[in-house]
Amino acid sequence: AQRVTQPEKLLSVFKGAPVELKCNYSYSGSPELFWYVQYSRQRLQLLLRHISRESIKGFTADLNKGETSFHLKKPFAQEEDSAMYYCALSGNAGGTSYGKLTFGQGTILTVHP
């Protein structure tokens, strides 16, 4: 069975400090990994996906297959980064995922001024 674990329920940092949101996964095949974000009073939206290898809003995430991790990082946090962050995995070993997502528990990031 596939599983996504986000060990930190809450994470607080000060503006300008580096931030790292941890995500570990278990999956028997080659996973597709995502970070979704939910800002206050907004809907859940895609932040980035590992296959794109892009930086969005200053955030990056590297897939480490050896450590089965997909941590989200930003060198200098901003107050507008405060939100709920979900790590998610799409995969169906031996079959088709149909776009189904397995989510972690979520991490609430608060960036203090």
Partner 1 sequence: NAGVTQTPKFRVLKTGQSMTLLCAQDMNHEYMYWYRQDPGMGLRLIHYSVGEGTTAKGEVPDGYNVSRLKKQNFLLGLESAAPSQTSVYFCASSYSAGGNTEAFFGQGTRLTVV
Q: Which residues bind partner 1 (CB under 8 A)?
A: 4, 6, 9, 31-32, 34, 36, 43-46, 49, 51, 86, 90-92, 96-106
CB of 34 to partner 1, least distance (A): 8
Contact 31, 95 (CB under 8 A): no
User: Least Å distance between CB 100 and partner 1?
Assistant: 6
Smallest distance, partner 1 to C-beta of residue 96, A: 6
C-beta closer to partner 1: residue 13 or 106: 106
Q: Are 39 and 30 in contact (CB under 8 A)?
A: no
The candidate with the shortest Cα–Cα distance to 11, out of 87, 66, 62, 63, is 87
- Residue 48, token pair as written in the block: 């980035």
Q: Find out whether 5 and 61 touch, Cβ atoms under 8 Å.
A: no
- Cβ proximity to partner 1: between 27 and 111 the closer is 27
